[in-house]
Amino acid sequence: MIKKFIDKLLGKSTPGTSRGKPHFGKREEVPASVHGINPELVDRRAAEVVATLKQAGFEAYIVGGAVRDLLLGLRPKDFDVATNATPEQVKGLFRRAFIIGKRFRIVHVVHGRGREHEVIEVSTFRAYLDNAAAGQVAGNEKTSKAQLSGMQHAVDASGRVLRDNVWGPQDEDATRRDFTVNAMYYDPVSQIVVDYHKGLQDAKKKTLRMIGDPATRYREDPVRIIRAVRFAAKLGALGFSIEPKTAAPLVQSQALLAEVPQSRMFDEMLKLLQTGHAIATIEQLKKLGMSTGIYPLLDVVVERADTPFVNAALTDTDRRVGEGKPVAPSFLLACVLWEDVHKGWMERQNQRQHPLPALQDAIDDVFDKRIGDVSGRGKLAADMREIWVMQPRFEKRVGSGPFGMVDQLRFRAGFDFLRLRADVGEVEEALAEWWQDFQSASDDRRDDLMDQAREEQKARQKAQPVVKRVPRAAPAAGAAPRDAAAGKAPMHDDAAAPLADGEAPKKRRRRRRKPGGGSSEGAASAAAGE
């Protein structure tokens, strides 16, 4: 019914020929015997969401990257569902479902609780909007107030999509997606794949191809430029390559990213670095001639990617993602910016500033220069600061300090940071090994480790060269002592001599000068402490 309403609203006749636009593609239903998807790779809960929607009379499919991965024989990490039901209709069918988002209103259907919970994201089919389509819908006298609200400022004069909350038919929903391999729909009930843009063929040819004219699509949403790089890096490991026509406008279109809000650019940068293909992403940026100019902080990452410390951090992040372990953006960014923090810290200490305030000031400067207010100076910035401030505290292994350190919430992140520093030779390997043992040791073992640390500290103190005092030359005859000339009492001759056992240091008396002054001889005697 919704599809018929939209068709009538847009003046459509039959699917695939609406408004004379050829880019909506022709619907193809590919059976299981052709696409070869293994049903056992499909998430059970995602299949249940599709089945529930279909039982209620709606269309529903697994969509996007999950279908692409299934076609490649991979088990997707995330499953998204697309339907012709509105968010309110979806919410009414599930006990634990929540409508989220402003620019894109979607529904999160939650299964399970605690750490075992799983979220299936359900979105409603959306209309493909360009300037002509936006004008036609907004100018239609039968357009509802809700549709007009969704259409208001939907597309700007340059063709950039500002709002995308207008429901539409499936063929238009497929067209508004970016790449052909991400625009297929899989019905786990009938096991049919619905394909409008030859995505199945491109998947078999391992080609990443933009739907429609690439330059126009990049203008509609400049973030697609970053997505093209991300998918090229991710799928490059599987032998995929960007179609030349899709890649050609990337560099020229890069200037469009200046129009994207900085907060969204910051998030997209993190996605590039945390999808498990950070090293490949940086190589792809260099290959495409886009190693600079996308985002200032990303420029720093690319610039330092070949340094031992940052390369180790990126490699470790890729490894953790590949093993299904969580990664924190604060840790990776702390690694990338440590060079700036460490340099500023050393410079301030060389200027006789106390180590801790020097470190705090260096951190503040780096936040101002490299990150600004994009992160809101919230949890991400607080976590980065804590990782950095822990580093000098790892050097202190006596007293109660180590026990308090291992109880801190961010200790593990701080230790992993120390571990990377040891791996590249910035700190001693023995220091990292000591903390590795201490954090998991029994109480008795911890006491042994503390004794070991105290012995090492004593050995270091003994190994330090002894600074000997150089005797001052005797003043010339008749010349006043240098300290006396400066108005200061010189050190007593015996002050530098070692004290015998049990001997207390001698007290030096200071004689007050009588009012009215005195002879120069008396003043000299007073200055000499006689």
Catalytic residues: 78, 80, 178
Residue pair 38/67 in contact (Cβ under 8 Å)? The answer is: no
Catalogue the long-range contacts made by 473-477 (C-beta closer than 8 Å, 24 or more residues apart): none
Contacts of 70 (CB under 8 A, 6+ apart): 37, 38, 41, 42, 62, 76, 186
* H helix and E strand count, the chain: 26, 10
d(CA 298, CA 324): 24
Which one, of 20, 185, 239, 238, lies nearest residue 177 by Cα?
185
DSSP characters for 247-261? HTTHHHHGGGGGGS-
Strand order in the sheet with 118-124: 28-30, 192-195, 184-187, 60-63, 80-83, 118-124, 106-111, 97-100
Structure tokens at 408: 């801190």
Q: Are 41 and 75 in contact (CB under 8 A)?
A: yes
- In eight-state DSSP terms, residue 39 is G
User: Are 529 and 492 a contacting pair, CB within 8 Å?
Assistant: yes
CA 367 to chain centroid, in Å, comes to: 14
- How far apart CA 149 and CA 48 sit, in angstroms, is 33
